Structure 1
Amino acid sequence: MTASQIVDDAYGTYAGDPSKAAFLGGADQVLTAEQVESFVFEAISALDVDGKDVCLIVPDGTRTCPLPMLLKPAHRALQGRVKSMKAVIALGTHQAMDEKHIARFFGFRPGHADEVYPGLEILNHEHHDPTQIVNLGTVPAERVTELSGGRLHDVPMKVELNRHAAEADVDIVIGPIFPHEVVGVSGGNKYFFPGLSVHEVIDVSHWVGALIGTHAMIGTRPVSPVRALINEACQLIPAQRYALCFVVKSNSEVLHAVSFGGCEDSWAACADVTVQTHVVYKEKAYGTVISVMPEKYEDIWTAAKGFYKLEPIVADGGLLVIYAPHITEIAVMHPGLKDIGYHTIDYFVKQWDRFKDHSWGELAHSTHLRGPGSYDAETGVETDRVRVALATGIPREVVESVALEYIDPATLDLAKLAEDPDTFVEPHAGEVLYRLESERPGV
């Protein structure tokens, strides 16, 4: 059963209404910077923010995002009107961005943020610091069961959020939308949960995604069970919530579309575009797929997107290689992955008593990178649909200890490999989803 087949009336208005959002562009359009800046300034200027505390929620550097193009006009529309203005980087559990990285991403000289964004305080989300987190309440276990499509039982979800977003009068998400392995299509409320949250919401939502499976989930447009859980958690946020969503061509500053409105409505408007612009269909599956990861992915926790986005076009028994010589760590913020390794969902489910107390977020990530497969509890044999190899700067012994294959990146000639008709090389992996033509909706 696909994610789209399990959406039902339990999700109510969570689907969002694109017609309620201000919108510019389309799947076949390229917007100019002037068009975007004018749209953003007018949309933000119309908000009732005078004398209020405003929190802007922005992505980290693992997303293609021409942030200054969006943030500068938003800042101009808010400056002089608001009581306070903060920008919180929605790291989730990713590594914090340092001053140099923040400056480059936001578009100012290190140490001179006030020259470009006067009055704007820029902060990393600190999921590990309890003084920076506010408990907003709990989604009851029975509601979790309902929204997860019956996948979880007796599991309430405590909702905790970064205090700057929780204590603001107005929250404005500013971020791109891409196909996503856990939630179907990213963006919108996902910047709150998991972007500004802590482990409980992350663990529950990601584990539901793992139980569904990335192949069924990724790039599906309807509201998925995971997004329904996230949207439910957002109902506990006291602030007014808006989203400035946009669809950006991967590895560029080219925008196809931009929308603004309530979080659900704005997300829906751009989600309709990204499933057209960021999903590529191939006529055949390949024996070998090479995902070349950009340097913005600093560990396998983030670079695993090179697997999620290309696994659908790997033939049964084929090989997917994550090529990233610059990566030297499995997961800087998640050392527990070295304890469990990478396995199929079956491996964990059939040994649940052994793994149930481990971080569900780490379990979910593990299954996402290993992909579809099965586990025979009697024989201890794990069978994968595809093989996964790392061609990185991570030592062989570490790679093999987490149950993945090792390839020395120096032995790979990407140009020569690309000449093989049974090999596909994606030079900028991580954001564009590949599927087989037979999986195209309506086929």
Structure 2
Amino acid sequence: MTTRLTQNSDTSGARSAALIGGPGEVLAEERLARFVRERLAGEDLDGRSVCLVVPDATRSCPLPLLLSSVHAALEGRVSRLTVLIALGTHAPMGERELAAHLGYPEGGLDRVYPGMTVINHRWWEPDTFVSVGTVPASRVAELSGGLLRRRVDVRLNRAVVEHDVALVVGPVFPHEVVGFSGGNKYFFPGVAGAEIIDVSHWLGALITSSEIIGTLGVTPVRALIDEAAAMVPSRRLALCVVAASGSGALHAAAFGIPESAWAAAAEVSAETHVRHLDAPVRRVLSLIPAKYDDIWTAAKGFYKLEPVVADGGEVILYAPHIRRISEMHPEIEQVGYHCRDYFTRQWDRFKDLHWGVLAHSTHLRGAGTYDEEHGERCRVTVTLATGIPEDVVRAANLGHLDPAEVDVEAFAADPDTLVVPEAGEVLYRLRPPAQGGGRPGPGRGR
């Protein structure tokens, strides 16, 4: 097995990450298992307690394969093994969901993964958290390039702190808040308190989703997350993978400290999860998969497509299975969806609300302007073709389309429309003009 070593130049003195696979490759299960076994064998884990921080079901990831490989490498070596589901502020997973997600029969965790405990990140319960430090306002200002100046209490799930080692296991994709997901993001916001979630997400909103999404390297939000992660007293490691969107296939896996493993995987993700078009499209029909069960999560089907929509164009989120805007954040229905300037130009009205909610609002509404004379003017129209009642959708400042009226084949035949299946993980961008080889239309983007 050939293992490459990569170095994250943004992490001073960081150890190199080990990387297998790459763009266009598909890792065999045995190759992955051997990689995990060899990497973990080289770590001082005997007698240690280990907390595995893993994603919920809103990410494409062959988690049973990864988890079984890690468990096989650690069983009998470690004193305690706990799986912590990094919900962020998503809904908790029940036993049936956990069993399907982690790869064991319902009620049979101990038969498949003996000695392992599984817990949800119970972000709604104050006792979940412990404070590990603060980021001073002056440092937040420095990291954000002056966009924010606010002291942040760094709280995270006490299970991380109460284990000797925290091992992140999860995928890397282009991301609307941080540039590319994964790595330390599984701590913040994955298992973090509201304070750093609000500040980091609002910082991303100020930069704007279309500007930051798919940006390699240490973005201002990534810098804030890394600053907080450095305060975690447990030893941090990461197994970062690049998964084929919508499938269980893996293109690559990287292991090391979170900063380096993430950087190595992000480089592969940038070549795997980005499609380029030669010209903007007037309309996108974004087909939302079942793993997104409310608009809070399904909004990724907008984030990843906004960059290729022409001014005055439209993104339709087609998701007949969705019945709620947000199960866990109903306040978004009162706030509604608005561009960034709508909030910043009326900050006294909104500054006391959860900044994470405001950030979600701006990310889904996209680019736009606001002033008292002209009101709000957004660059594109966002339309929901879902099971959410029309009055709720329009009250949230979004367009409504009866999903029964959506003919996917007819949309696909329209030369002005881009139909995107399994939307939410692959980023679409316009190809820089110098690289263009003509204007073949939306259906022929790479």
Pairwise same-fold verdict (TM > 0.5): yes
Deviation of 1:196 after TM superposition, in Å, equals: 0.3
Which whole-Å CA distance do the structure 2 matches of 1:346 and 1:404 have between them? 17
Partners of 2:366 and 2:347 in 1: how far apart?
18
Paired letter, 1:328:
R
Unaligned residue ranges in structure 2 (runs of 5+): 1-7, 438-446
SS at match of 1:131: helix
Are 2:15 and 2:257, in contact at CA under 8 Å, matched by a contact in 1? Answer: no
Q: Which residue of 1 aligns with 2:290?
A: 295
**Paired position in structure 1 for 2:258:** 263
How big is each residue's C-alpha offset from its partner over 1:224-275, in whole Å with a ceiling of 9 and x where there is no partner?
0000000000011000000000101101111111010001010011011000
- 2:305, 2:429 within 8 Å by CA — same for their partners in 1? yes
Q: Is the 8 Å Cα contact of residues 121 and 191 (structure 2) preserved in structure 1?
A: yes
Offset of residue 28 of structure 1? 2.5
Q: Are the equivalent residues in 1 in contact too, given 2:278–2:436 (CA < 8 A)?
A: no
Counterpart residue number, 2:368: 373
- TM-score scaled by length of structure 2: 0.94
Q: Distance in 1 between matches of 2:434 and 2:14?
A: 22
CA contact under 8 A between 2:10 and 2:217: conserved in structure 1? no
Go from structure 1 to structure 2 and tell me whether the alpha carbon gap of 1:134 and 1:13 turns closer, same or farther (over 3 Å shift): farther
Aligned to 1:414: 408
Alignment: residue pair count: 430
1:89 maps to 85
Partner of 1:389 in structure 2? 383
d(CA) in 2 for partners of 1:299 and 1:354? 26
Distance 1:334 1:221, change over 3 A: same
SS of corresponding position for 1:190: helix
Alpha-carbon contact 1:92-1:127 (below 8 Å) kept: yes
Q: Does 1:430 align with 2:424?
A: yes
Q: For residue 59 of structure 1, what is the aligned residue in structure 2?
A: 55
Describe how 1:187-206 pairs up with structure 2 within 5 A: 187-206=182-201
Tell whether the 8 Å contact from 1:209 to 1:364 is kept in structure 2 after alignment. yes
SS of aligned partner of 1:115? helix
User: Which residue in the other structure is 1:247 paired with?
Assistant: 242
2:358 aligned residue: 363
SS in 2 for 1:294: coil
CA deviations over 1:131-162 (Å, ceiling 9, x no partner): 12111111011000000111012x10110010
Quote the residue 2:159 is aligned against. Answer: 164
CA shift, 1:377, in A, is 2.1
Question: What 5-or-longer segments of structure 1 have no aligned partner?
Answer: 1-11
In the alignment, the residues of structure 2 paired with residue 429 and residue 17 of structure 1 have an alpha-carbon distance, to the nearest angstrom, of 38
Over 3 Å counting, the alpha-carbon distance change for 1:17 and 1:384 in structure 2 is: farther
Structure 1 segment 125-144 matched on structure 2, within 5 A: 125-144=121-140
Among 48, 51, 69, the alignment partner of 2:44 is 48
Distance 2:418 2:365 in 1: 19
Q: Please report how far the alpha carbon of residue 440 of structure 1 lies from its aligned counterpart in structure 2 after TM superposition.
A: 9.0
How many Å apart are 1:16 and its aligned residue? 7.4
Deviations 1:287-342 (A, max 9, x none): 11011010000100000000000111111100100110000001111111111100
Instruction: Determine the C-alpha separation between the residues in 2 that align with 1:339 and 1:40.
Output: 46
Equivalent-residue separation in structure 2 for 1:171 and 1:165 (angstroms): 6
- Normalized against structure 1, the TM-score is what? 0.95
Q: What RMSD, in angstroms, separates the aligned Cα atoms of the two structures?
A: 1.6
- Is the contact between residue 374 and residue 382 of structure 1 (CA under 8 Å) also seen in structure 2? yes
Report the 3-state secondary structure (helix = DSSP H, G, I; strand = E; otherwise coil) of the residue aligned with 1:232: helix
How do 1:303-382 residues align onto structure 2 when only pairs under 5 Å count? 303-379=298-374, 381-382=375-376
The CA distance in 1 between the partners of 2:45 and 2:435, in whole Å, is 42
Q: Is the 8 A contact 1:14 1:228 kept in 2?
A: no
Q: Distance in 1 between matches of 2:338 and 2:22?
A: 39
Q: 2:210 aligns with which of 207, 212, 215?
A: 215
Q: 1:6 maps to which residue?
A: none
Q: Evaluate the alpha carbon distance shift between residue 248 and residue 42 of structure 1 in structure 2; reply closer, same or farther with a 3 A threshold.
A: same
In structure 2, what residue type is equivalent to 1:129? E
CA distance in 2, matches of 1:317, 1:161: 42
Matching residue within 385, 389, 399 for 2:393: 399
| 1:120 has 2:113 as partner | no
Q: 1:8-63 CA deviation, whole Å, 9 max, x = no partner? A: xxxx9655789701110111211111111111111112211111111000000000
**C-alpha distance in 1 between matches for 2:99 and 2:434:** 40
Q: Does the C-alpha gap of structure 1 residues 441 and 210 become closer, same or farther in structure 2, counting only changes over 3 Å?
A: farther
Among all aligned residue pairs of Structure 1 and Structure 2, give the percentage whose two residues are the same amino acid.
Answer: 54
Instruction: Work out the CA distance in 2 between the residues paired with 1:70 and 1:246.
Output: 9
Q: In 2, distance between residues paired with 1:191 and 1:315?
A: 34
- Match of residue 99 from structure 1: 95
Q: String of CA shifts for 1:351-376, please: whole Å, max 9, x gaps.
A: 00010001000000000000000001
Return the alpha-carbon distance in structure 2 between the equivalents of residues 79 and 222 of structure 1: 35
What is the Cα deviation at residue 73 of structure 1?
Answer: 1.3
Deviating more after overlay: 286-295 vs 26-35: 26-35
